[in-house]
């Protein structure tokens, strides 16, 4: 039955399909400590659904197996632009490497001959496609129906793709899909760091696959690369400091402390994933390549700043960026423009500084101050 399910999963576009038991995940105690320390920030659903995350029986009574699925979203290195980080903590080395970077690997010269970042933003790799929840959800529904068909009338199953109270990384390691790295993400020996996870909980009993063991060794590249020191120790993440949290999950103002470190990232961050040595085994994406949106790699920040609500929805409908809403994305755009310190952005920022949305106004004013301050210093 496992072979038949793997074959069907492959036909639907999944790159890996493995199996484990529905026993409680091993990291339950760590989750409780992490939540107690408030490292989840404003992500209240993590705390609200914690009991279910600790016991799959509370999600699906009678669950006996978990089918873990993975989809690869790797792209060729030449297709992936680099961030333009600014100095903070352990990110200093990355900052020096990125000085003068436009976010697309090129340098832009000003009329005066000095180098400065062009006003383009950077979006995390996974979000440069149509929304994976929709792409994978459609296929998971089909596969779940197939599981129930194979199991018979009494079989019950539930599927999730980053949407349910499931500690999916635990199940992925236990099923042998990959191992949880020091950056707390799953690393596959076949696809490196570039994988999306999904799972099917089922009352059908399936023989578990062998678990994967940790293969990080002494490597600390992910810790060293984090621009905000969000990876506080190996396997320890303070989400409140992470750029993915600051640009996506956080709904209010970004702390002034972290704004320079955000650089030109306007939705998510790949830094800790990109430096992992296991990426040398990454293969080019299959299923998700057909849903790629190249225009999302390094969008023009001034174009984004000009979007009204209707324009925002039209441009980002069916993509992960819709989740940020206009107010959140333009907040991030203002921060990126402030970090770029390009004076040609001042007229657009002045308009944003009187936007009807207070969050946008606040960050536009900060960006204007950053640009003016930096150019006063340069002139002095």
Q: Which residues are catalytic?
A: 162
Query: Residue 187 pairs with which residues in a beta bridge?
Result: 179
Residues 43/249, Cβ–Cβ less than 8 Å: yes
Q: Identify whether the C-beta of residue 265 lies closer than 8 Å to the C-beta of residue 311.
A: no
How buried is residue 29: exposed, middle or buried, by Cβ count under 10 Å (0-12/13-18/19+)?
Answer: exposed
110 to 100, 120, 239, 267, 349: CA distances (angstroms): 11, 15, 37, 27, 19
Closest CA to 119 of 334, 301, 343, 330: 301
CA distances from 374 to 84, 342, 344, 367, 370 (A): 17, 10, 14, 11, 6
263: left (phi over 0), alpha (psi -120 to 50) or beta: left
Question: Pseudo-torsion of CA 90, 93, 98, 104, nearest 10°?
Answer: -70
Q: In whole angstroms, what is the distance from residue 227 CA to residue 241 CA?
A: 9
- CA–CA dist 380, 375 (Å, integer): 8
CA–CA gap between residue 295 and residue 232 (Å, rounded): 34
Q: CA-based diameter of the chain, in Å?
A: 78
Closest CA to 360 of 312, 298, 297, 293: 312
323 closest CA partner among 267, 273, 271: 267
Position of tokens 């659904």? 49
């Amino acid at each position: 039955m496992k072979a038949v399910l793997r074959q069907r999963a492959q036909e639907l576009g999944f790159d890996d399909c493995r199996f484990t038991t529905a026993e409680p995940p091993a990291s339950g105690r760590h989750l409780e400590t992490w939540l107690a320390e408030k490292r989840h920030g404003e992500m209240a659903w993590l705390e609200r659904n914690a009991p279910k995350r600790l016991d799959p029986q509370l999600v699906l009574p009678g669950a006996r197996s978990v089918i873990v699925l993975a989809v690869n979203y790797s792209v060729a290195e030449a297709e992936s632009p680099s961030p333009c980080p600014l100095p903070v903590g352990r990110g200093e080395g990355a900052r020096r490497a990125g000085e003068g970077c436009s976010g697309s690997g090129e340098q832009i010269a000003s009329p005066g001959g000095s180098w400065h970042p062009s006003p383009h933003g950077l979006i995390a790799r996974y979000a440069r496609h149509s929304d994976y929840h929709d792409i994978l959800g459609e296929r998971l529904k089909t596969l779940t129906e197939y599981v129930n068909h194979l199991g018979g009338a009494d079989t019950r199953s539930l599927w999730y793709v980053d949407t349910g109270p499931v500690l999916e990384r635990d199940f992925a390691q236990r099923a042998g899909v990959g191992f949880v790295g020091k950056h707390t993400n799953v690393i596959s020996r076949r696809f490196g760091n570039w994988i999306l996870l999904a799972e099917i909980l089922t009352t059908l009993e399936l023989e578990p696959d062998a678990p994967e063991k940790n293969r990080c060794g002494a490597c600390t590249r992910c810790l060293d690369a984090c621009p905000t020191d969000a990876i506080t120790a190996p396997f320890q993440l303070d989400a409140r400091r992470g750029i993915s949290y600051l640009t996506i999950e956080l709904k209010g103002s970004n702390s002034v402390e972290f704004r320079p470190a955000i650089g030109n990232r306007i939705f998510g961050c790949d830094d800790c994933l990109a430096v992992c040595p296991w990426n040398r085994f990454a293969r080019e994406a299959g299923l998700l390549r057909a849903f790629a949106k190249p225009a999302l790699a390094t969008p023009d920040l001034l174009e984004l700043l000009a979007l009204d609500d209707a324009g925002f929805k039209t441009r980002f409908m069916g993509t992960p960026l819709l989740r940020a809403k206009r107010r959140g994305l333009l907040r991030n755009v203002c921060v990126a423009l402030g970090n770029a310190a390009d004076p040609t952005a001042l007229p657009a920022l002045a308009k944003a500084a009187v936007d009807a949305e207070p969050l946008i106004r606040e960050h536009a004013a900060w960006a204007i101050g950053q640009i003016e301050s930096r150019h006063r210093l340069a002139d002095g």
